[in-house]
């Protein structure tokens, strides 16, 4: 009897504290976070690991990122780089780089300190993305916000623990994490974004760019 009650208790706790159901478009769950960051902080330069329709296009959307001047995007898949170059070639703010090998090796020639925001959504395996995260940790840029998609993955959380501050957005699954080194006040800004995302998560899909722009007005 006691075991049955314990199992029921665990189920109820999981119902209220477990992860949200995986989003219909699980590639896009970071979009509300990115839009919120650009609304509350001037983002002029972005370093992107892993180009994509749900990140590269958001950064180059002048309504979403009105202050953007530089987007350096790195991609390890040459075919996908060609696909994305059709979109980025007409925009002087964007440079799309090909990395022949592990994405982590690209950081050897990058000044991570020169970017306001660093977005990590790269590679075809968790192990490779962990390498990217650890390479960033080795640099530990002092003034950049590092945004990590799929942040519910334990290896990503563990890999980013070197950073002094961390915050998780859990309204959508996959989750989005933000890690940074300075300015403890940033946490209040992230909490404000989190409140907006949670308030609208039941009405808006994560890839509804226009809806999220209105939500953050």
Domain annotation for the chain: domains and CATH numbers: 26-215 (3.40.50.150)
Mean pLDDT of the chain: 90
In this model, does residue 214 exceed pLDDT 90?
A: yes
Helix (H, G, I), strand (E, B) or coil at 132: helix
pLDDT digits (tens, 9 = 90+) for 71-88: 999 999 999 999 999 889
Say if residue 121 is exposed, middle or buried (CB neighbours under 10 Å; 0-12, 13-18, 19+). buried
Convert 178-217 to b/e letters by CB count within 10 Å (16 or more is b). Answer: bbbeeeeebeebbeebbebbeebbeebbbbbbebbeebbe
Least confident of 8-22, 48-62, 83-97, 133-147: 8-22
pTM: 0.89
pLDDT digits (tens, 9 = 90+) for 131-160: 999 999 999 999 999 999 999 999 999 999
């Amino acid at each position: 009897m006691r075991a049955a009650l314990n199992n029921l208790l665990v189920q109820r706790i999981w119902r209220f504290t477990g992860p949200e159901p995986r989003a219909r478009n699980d590639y896009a769950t970071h979009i509300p976070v990115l839009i919120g960051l650009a609304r509350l902080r001037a983002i002029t330069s972005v370093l992107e690991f892993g180009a994509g329709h749900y990140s590269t296009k958001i950064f180059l959307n002048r309504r979403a990122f009105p202050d953007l001047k530089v987007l350096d995007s790195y991609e390890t898949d040459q075919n996908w780089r060609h696909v994305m170059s059709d979109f980025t070639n007409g925009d002087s703010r964007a440079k799309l780089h090909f990395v022949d090998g592990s994405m982590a090796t690209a950081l050897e020639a990058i000044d991570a300190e020169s970017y306001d925001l660093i977005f990590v959504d790269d590679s075809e395996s968790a192990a490779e993305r962990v390498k990217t995260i650890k390479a960033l940790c080795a640099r530990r840029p002092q003034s950049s916000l590092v945004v990590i998609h799929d942040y519910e993955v334990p290896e990503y959380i563990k890999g980013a623990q070197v950073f002094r501050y961390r915050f998780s957005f859990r309204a959508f699954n996959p989750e989005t994490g933000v890690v940074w080194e300075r300015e403890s006040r940033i946490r209040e800004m992230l909490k404000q974004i989190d409140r907006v995302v949670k308030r609208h998560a039941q009405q808006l899909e994560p890839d509804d760019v226009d809806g999220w722009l209105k939500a953050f007005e």
